[in-house]
């Protein structure tokens, strides 16, 4: 099973067409304002301080803008730089990239630059809560819900999905709040350290990646142990009764999700000495409503929010857990997906774009 496993090339072509139409919108075409403040950063769905690496990238972009006299302009998928400033900045960032010593430093710089550009390019254009253009904001329609306090979602997001309009991982913290569904950006050291510190407090028995682990015996929601107050994946592991069970959702394209998983697995091996990070798969997953708009490489892959809803439905099937209202929580996520689909569809119709997708897959969405 995969999450946000859209076909990157097909989706980027479609989203580019829409984004280019919007480059003249308020704040979209040109850089807008100064450095990103802590408060502005958190309004995008964060519970952590602005990462120093992202702040440094933004500071360098603003210094370069002032020194060259060329205004930053953004457009296309991911708020890419455009025009003469792009050419100058491209040479500079490639030179910086070449000076970095190892692959981890290169990844951190890549991620910080992606995020910095998206933050500057989205100012005054996207709603800071739902990541849709302000004229299409869906926030007023989203119904919030409390997630069972015995669990927590971690959205481990690739920077290329950050502030993406049709990203569905953002729905989880819109519905459950930023503490129950916390964002961790791939390649941002401060974010990853916060997530792993939480894992260490919970204990190794309270961690599972919602992802198929090909090298280990497949596990499902049925394999999780419940002691009357908390879940665990391994009764032999020492875990804190007061900490929630951590479910990690990989939020990116199918190929990017593989990179997310590799990084998780590498750090897990260093910390625990075990080569296989605990993973679970879902056994009854239906196609997401987002399949109507988002090209998918296969029908057995789905979006992040639909995977989270599927997990909640399977938890609800366990008789000893039904008092925790997982059905209500799953329905809240599915409702938010419907709202996002409606908002994106309405926008496409207004812009004269197609709202249908080619039927490419006939397989059932079973794991």
Q: Are the beta carbons of 112 and 186 closer than 8 angstroms?
A: no
Question: Could you list the mean pLDDT of each consecutive 10-residue stretch along the chain, which spans 367 residues?
Answer: 45 47 42 82 94 96 91 81 89 90 94 95 94 96 96 97 95 97 97 96 92 72 87 68 92 90 95 89 77 61 90 94 95 96 93 68 35
Neighbours of 204 (CB within 10 A): 20
CA distance 45 to 55: 17
- Domain regions of the chain by residue span: 23-124, 139-350
pLDDT at 298: 57
Positive or negative CA dihedral for 99, 105, 107, 113? negative
Q: Per the structure block, which two tokens stand in for 63?
A: 């210094």
pLDDT tens, residue by residue, 235-274: 556 567 789 999 999 999 888 999 999 999 999 999 988 8
Core vs surface per residue 23-32: b (16+ CB within 10 A) or e: beeebbbbbb
Phi, psi of 138, deg, nearest 5: -110, 0
């Amino acid at each position: 099973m995969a999450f946000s496993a859209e076909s990157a090339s097909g989706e980027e072509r479609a989203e580019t067409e829409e984004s280019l139409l919007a480059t003249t919108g308020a704040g979209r075409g040109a850089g807008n304002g100064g450095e990103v403040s802590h408060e502005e950063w958190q309004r995008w769905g964060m519970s952590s301080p602005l990462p120093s690496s992202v702040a440094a990238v933004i500071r360098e972009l603003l210094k370069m803008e002032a020194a060259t006299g060329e205004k930053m302009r953004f457009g296309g998928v991911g708020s890419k730089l455009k025009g003469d400033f792009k050419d100058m900045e491209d040479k500079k960032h490639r030179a910086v990239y070449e000076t970095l010593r190892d692959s981890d430093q290169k990844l951190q710089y890549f991620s910080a630059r992606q995020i910095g550009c998206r933050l500057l390019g989205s100012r005054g254009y996207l709603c800071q809560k739902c990541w849709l253009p302000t004229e299409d904001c869906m926030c007023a329609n989203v119904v919030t819900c409390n997630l069972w306090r015995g669990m927590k979602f971690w959205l481990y997001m690739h920077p290329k999905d950050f502030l993406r309009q049709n990203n569905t991982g953002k729905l989880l913290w819109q519905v459950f709040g930023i503490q129950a569904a916390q964002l961790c950006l791939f390649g941002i050291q401060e974010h990853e350290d916060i997530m792993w510190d939480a894992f260490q407090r919970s204990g190794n028995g309270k961690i599972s990646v919602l992802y198929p682990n090909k090298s280990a015996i497949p596990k499902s929601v049925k394999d999780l142990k419940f002691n009357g107050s908390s879940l665990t994946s391994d009764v032999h592991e020492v875990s804190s009764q007061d900490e929630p069970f951590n479910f990690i959702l990989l939020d990116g394209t199918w190929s990017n999700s593989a990179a997310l998983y590799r990084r998780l697995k590498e750090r897990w091996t260093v910390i625990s000495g075990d080569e296989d990070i605990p993973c679970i798969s879902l056994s009854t997953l239906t196609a997401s409503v987002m399949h109507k708009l988002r090209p998918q490489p296969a029908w057995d892959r789905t979006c992040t929010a639909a995977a989270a809803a599927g997990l909640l439905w399977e938890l609800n099937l366990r008789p000893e857990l039904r008092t925790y209202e997982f059905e209500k929580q799953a329905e809240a996520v599915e409702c938010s997906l419907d709202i996002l689909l409606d908002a994106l569809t309405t926008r496409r119709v207004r812009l004269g774009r197609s709202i249908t997708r080619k039927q490419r897959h006939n397989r059932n969405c079973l794991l």
